[in-house]
Structure 1
Amino acid sequence: MPVWMPVVAIALVDAEGRVLLQQRPARKHHGGLWEFPGGKIDAGETPRDALAREIAEELAIQVKPCDCAALLLAEEAREGQPPVVLMLYRATCWRGSPDGREGQTWGWFTREEARGLALAPMDRELVERISD
């Protein structure tokens, strides 16, 4: 049994090189901060399968697991809880248009625009490390 929580996120990159970010609901950890879309990996899922499921559930976008390329890792230690290890993937093709199914705000941002947002800590680290 792992002593850390694996989560996945995606950097969807459009034809203009912008990434899709969403704003976390106020009631959640890091509420109101911006992040790459994604979520927890369920038992029996691969990271890519979990990512495809989470993106479909949250944003009504269909991404094929085989179109998701592993990109970066980030970690966050949380008091009294297992550390979170975030696996960021990148994809440039998908079907559908974003629709915040959990009521979240979303938008397409250049790296410079993303730097100006109130980002969740791991996502800030990833935005800084992601290549243009």
Structure 2
Amino acid sequence: MENQKPRHIVKVCAAVIYSNGRILVTRRPPDKFMGNYWEFPGGKCEPGESPNECIIREIREELAIEVKPVAHLLTTKTHHPNYEIEMEFLLCRLIAGTPKPVQCSECRWVTLDQLDELKFPPADSELVKLITQNPSPLHSLTSA
């Protein structure tokens, strides 16, 4: 029996920013891995950083806006030969600013119905399926 080395786990957080019935999505630059795919904005957690701290920092860097994480929606795991990506999707409230595509090729507000028209990476596609089938967690933001 071979001893398998434990996989390196890369922790990533993504924001589901919901406002006025629309969700903010970003498009990956064409020269990056999965170029031109749409995604929920976010990025890798730095050592010792909580998911909430990560998402606040990443969204500030990528879109020049301020968000407040309000709920955990989903965690996905993607397995690769030498590592695993653990991605947490956090429902966020936009608290300041107008999104600008600082580190992405485009950002766009879309309705739930429009999400199915966009091409997402597999991890993001899981969340799209979840929130289009059951949008009630999103609607909790409007009553808060």
Query: TM-score by structure 1 length?
Result: 0.89
1:20-76 residue CA offsets vs partner (Å, 9 max, x unmatched): 000011222211100000000001211110100000000001123xx4311111121
Identity %: 34
Aligned to 2:94: 93
Consecutive unaligned residues of structure 1, counting only runs of 5 or more, are none
Please point out which of 43, 52, 57 is paired with 2:56. Answer: 52
Q: For residues 93 and 102 of structure 1, what CA distance do their matches in structure 2 show?
A: 18
Report whether the alignment pairs 1:40 with 2:44.
Answer: yes
Query: TM-score by structure 2 length?
Result: 0.82
Compute the displacement of 1:103 (Å): 4.4
Please point out which of 14, 25, 31 is paired with 1:9. Answer: 14
Q: For residues 39 and 99 of structure 2, what CA distance do their matches in structure 1 show?
A: 14
Aligned to 2:139: none
Consecutive unaligned residues of structure 2, counting only runs of 5 or more, are 1-5, 136-144
Tell me which amino acid in the other structure corresponds to 2:40: F
Q: For residues 115 and 46 of structure 2, what CA distance do their matches in structure 1 show?
A: 29
More strand by share: 2
Tell me which amino acid in the other structure corresponds to 1:44: G
Aligned to 1:109: 110
Aligned to 1:23: 27
Alpha-carbon RMSD: 1.6
